[in-house]
Chain A
Amino acid sequence: MHKLVSFRTVAFFGLAAGLAVLPATQAAAQKVDFAGKRIDVIVPFAPGGGSDVYMRALQPFLEKHLPGKPTIIVRNVPGSRSIPGANQFQERAKPDGAHVMVVSATTVASFVFSRAKVRFELDKWEPVLLSPQGGIVYASPSLGISGAKDLPKLKGQQLVFGGQSANSGELRYIMTFYLLGLKVNHVWGLNRGPVRLAFERGEFNVNSDSTPGYLGGAMQLVKAGKAVPIYSAGVLNEKGELVRDPNVSDLPHFGEAYELMHGKKPTGAGFDAWLSVSKMNTMMNKGIFLPAGTPKPVLDAWRTAISNILKDPEFDKTAGKVIEGYPQFIGESAKPIIKDATTFSPEAWAWLKNYFKTEHNVTIE
């Protein structure tokens, strides 16, 4: 994985250069002092999940780099696709820099798809850090494929895929199956662990994982000849174009897979809807937010601390793998992504609504 390190370094320094505002605000940030304070971080998931590990990896470094070296308290408020945790943050958090929210792709999906229950205004919160995370689709060799080039062979074969539910973090994968014209039997109500076990048992023959999950776990299946990676969900570059996942740069992204399958570049409302979902699931995979109305000096103190953490060699060595090689978006640079991830074009929304209804019998408002 040596090549990743170089990408990461490039990404960080590129980012640091892009954030030319930061050095100027550093002086103002000095005035903010959290000495002796306890900072309350809400993680809207159970301990041990992706968002929890993400926050806890950052925790000691935030304590080190925030002005005044405050104590950080992580509070898990799990359940109901992160709605209660986010609602609680909306209602209780004071804009003083001592109340922080961790957001994941699921939180964003709840915000977009479950308007009726949501009392929080995610799009108004102030982003501190946005950490994208890619995803990989892999299949069983029993389907007779050895890589992306064999995609057409999957046509007409019965695929079986397991996941949590149609409108969750797996949306970015199942939409690709539909757009590729694959015949998939979906089995819902399952967490990632049991799904991978079922894949290993041969009960499912196509599966997906987040890229870190893939590199840490399913990669061993690939080495043992029990799984074949086909394509990645890709990431979006600054121009909003789909490019390969930097952590698995030898693997084609979904756009390329579409071309291999259909012989033409992907276009249309379906692909646009998928791009929006991609922003939601991939680009906004994890993030740290402060409440709306947080004063600028406090925001700057947080953003400076984050950019210092990303430069901290100690972080890179120990906890860096939670952000594994993806460009990180600090402060203002995250806002366009958040806007795109939470607003769909009317055509894309109509397509998605119809897709949910006809393919999965799910109604979205």
Chain B
Amino acid sequence: MQADLLQALFTLFGVQHLLFLVGGTLLGLVVGFLPGLGGIAALSLLLPFVYGGDPTLVLPMMIGLLAVTNTSDTFPAVLVGIPGTSSAQATILDGHALARQGEAARALGAAFSASLLGGLFGAFMLTLAIQFARPLILGVGFGEQLMLVVLALTMVGMLTGASALKGLVMCGMGLLFGSMGAAPATAEERLTFNTIYLSDGVPLVIVGLAMFAIPEMVDVLRKRTTISSVPELGSGTLRGFRETLSHKWLLVRCSSLGVIIGALPGLGGSVTNWVAYGHAVQSAKDRSSFGKGDIRGVIGPESSNNADNGGALIPTLMFGIPGSASMALFLGALVLIGIEPGIGMMERHLDLTYIIIWSLAIANVIGAGICLFLAKPIARLTVVPFALVAPFMFVIVFFAAYQATRAWEDLIALFALGIVGMYMKRFGWSRPAFLIGFVLSMQLDSSVYQSIQVYGMSFLQRGGVQVILALIVVSVIVAARMKPHRDPLTAEGPHAPVNKTPQAIFLGLLAAACLYTIYDAWHLEFLGKVFPISVALVTLALLVAAAVLFSRNRPDYVYFDSEREWGDKDKPVHGDFHFQGWILALLAAIGVFGYMLGIFVYITAFLRVKAGSRWHWAMVCALGAVTVLSIFGYFLALDYPRGLLQTVAELPWPLN
């Protein structure tokens, strides 16, 4: 075995092999960096070149690509608060908070070193698993899967914010929002308003961008001129690296979580990073700085989402069953180059298995190395006046959203949810809790139904189920005993019962959404409606409790309005509606002129009006953005939204 392992390593260090591996890794870094594109998009591009290729060349290329998308996706997450892929959502909470304090380089340093070590850990576990893990994976049946989903859901307890009540409401709202689309048991449509677009629910990419990117960007635009509140960047990259090493046990635990969750089909990177974040909070003694820029909140999710790849390869190689969406594509490619994964992979393709493992490890080193090298210069973005950066970011976010299903509805959904996200942030309704509910909703619904359909209630008697049940109890107790660090209640602060009407309206809208869900589900079959109606009733009960506290008119954590956080001097000139209008303007520009012309008009106008650039400079910058996105569009075969103009006139590429 060891001889084969070394043989594979020597193969990889051939010039040609290394070139393919580095090429794949670089492509992976680029698509990970660009929001909305991930391993799936890039791998599907490589697929035509894969056929008939020498497996020892194309495997390193594909693995290199998949291994590092979760490394470079940290850049936009930390610097601007935009998740580069959905695996980077949890990193935003503390990573972006650090960037705002001028510690972007430190956050990135910690993130990339955690990614590196997490990725290596994943590769190591894959090596072991490929020998031993078969019975373990076969031990996880429907009952155990259900319990794991519930366990992941208890992490919400760590992410509720100042008011636990409001956090739980948001988790319920996330579960309801996630139930949109075809019911797992009956395939009946729920909450689709009889549209085709909603019949699969709103794509996760869009929910992630709407919950984080839009509110964060508007916040920065309103509050300050730059992302970082201090003008100078600290020399942080190395410090971040050291901090990762000093939290080695957190790293090991979160990487293990990443491997385990990655290895279970159905739960992917979008769940992993939240569970790891929840665990990082749960296991910390002093939790007061989480969400405000705690380096542990970066190390946890970043180590887990890279370890995730090693985990996801376990079922892919051992059972021929993809552990994630990008692995599904990888599996398709394997079959086309004549490798049949599954039982006996070790006997039939031992050499290639080791090539895969080594490629995973080496790509993680190369990817993290490049990112560490670039961390400091790219972090400078946080000290550039944000009004210069913002129009490009809006344009990229809209581009990213459109890649979800390539329909105009993607942009409308992003806008509508982005507005909701802004008010969730303003009124202190936990967005992470909403996202956890959202990503786990369908899993919860289907695994409850499947467990009971297969076992009846007897699934509770299974050993594995009972073990996880015990962990759930522990997790709930820890969550219940947690005392979050909260601002004191004062008659003047953000938790005071002043100017209650906007908050009351928001609360009323949430209740109305619950009621509508019940009305919508009422006519469905029992198995189609039991989940949304139960969740809606519980959420409604929590909302009633919140409303009771709300009506008492004394300072309470149930009240929150970030508008009350500023003093008279630093109060921003523009209110919410101002920037909502600016985002709507982008939607309108694309709607009229199509994407390329629309963003040209928009960036020019934004730079002129908001950043005070001269007209010609604004136009040059806008042209630059159009050029870059056109080139990307050409080589990555992307599609851009069309506007009214394109329906009445034939335009040449790239304006069509």
Contact = CB atoms under 8 A, between A and B. Distances in A.
B196 A87 contact: yes
Contacts, number: 149
A216 B320 contact: yes
Given A84-B196, A201-B141, A319 B51 contact: yes
Nearest to A118: B196
Contacts of B453: 185, 187
B405 A84 contact: yes
A271 B340 CA distance: 36
Interface in A315-365: 317-319, 321-322, 361-362
Interface string A278-305: 0000000000000000000000000000
A48 B328 contact: yes
Contacts of A76: 44
Contact of B200 (A60, A80, A200, A203): A80
B640 to A, nearest CB: 12
Interface in A80-131: 80, 83-84, 87-88, 117
A321 B138 CA distance: 30
Q: Which of A84, A185, A221, A362 has the most CB of B within 10 A?
A: A84
Given A60-B51, A203-B454, A318-B52, A220 B343 contact: yes
Nearest to A72: B48
B639 interface: yes
- Range for the number of chain B residues in contact with chain A: 35 or more
Interface string A181-195: 000010111100110
Interface in B126-140: 137-139
Contacts of A220: 320, 340, 342-344
Contacts of B340: 216-217, 220
A75 interface: yes
Q: Which of A49, A117, A187, A319 has the most CB of B within 10 A?
A: A187
Interface string B310-343: 0000010001111001101111100110001011
Interface in B151-208: 182-187, 196-197, 199-200
A185 B450 CA distance: 11
A336 B484 CA distance: 69
Interface string B29-45: 00000000000110110
B342 A217 contact: yes
Contact of A362 (B187, B407, B449): B187
Contacts of B266: 194
Interface stretch (A3-11, A18-26, A160-168, A256-264): A160-168
B342 A48 contact: no
A362 B52 CA distance: 45
Contact of A217 (B43, B48, B196, B320): B320
A189 B184 CA distance: 4
Nearest to B266: A194
B605 interface: no
B321 A79 contact: no
Given A48-B40, A216-B335, A197 B265 contact: yes
B641 to A, nearest CB: 13
B142 interface: yes
Given A166-B187, A167-B187, A189 B446 contact: yes
Contacts of A32: none
B637 interface: yes
A80 B51 contact: no
A67 interface: no
Nearest to A71: B637
Q: Which of A73, A189, A204 has the most CB of B within 10 A?
A: A189
B325 A203 contact: no
A221 B47 CA distance: 28
B406 interface: yes
A59 interface: yes
A84 B407 contact: yes
Given A77-B406, A193-B321, A319 B336 contact: yes
A80 B187 contact: no
A35 interface: no
Contacts of B565: none
Contact of A189 (B141, B450, B525): B450
Interface in B483-538: 525
A200 B51 contact: no
Contact of B315 (A117, A162, A197, A322): A197
A166 B186 CA distance: 8
B637 A190 contact: no
Nearest to B39: A47
Contact of B639 (A75, A83, A87, A322): A75
Interface stretch (A50-58, A136-144, A148-156): A50-58
A273 B315 CA distance: 38
A206 to B, nearest CB: 13
Interface in B329-362: 329-332, 335-336, 340, 342-344
Contacts of B454: 160, 185, 187, 203-204
Contact of B185 (A75, A189, A217): A189
Interface string B551-568: 000000000000000000
Given A56-B44, A217-B342, 8 more contacts: A77-B405, A117-B199, A188-B184, A188-B185, A189-B183, A193-B321, A197-B265, A197-B315
Interface of A: 46-49, 52-53, 56-57, 59-60, 73-80, 83-84, 87-88, 117, 160, 162, 165-167, 185, 187-190, 193-194, 196-198, 200-201, 203-204, 216-217, 220-221, 223-224, 314, 317-319, 321-322, 361-362
Closest 10 CB pairs of A and B: A189-B184, A48-B329, A165-B187, A48-B328, A47-B44, A193-B321, A318-B52, A53-B332, A189-B446, A220-B343
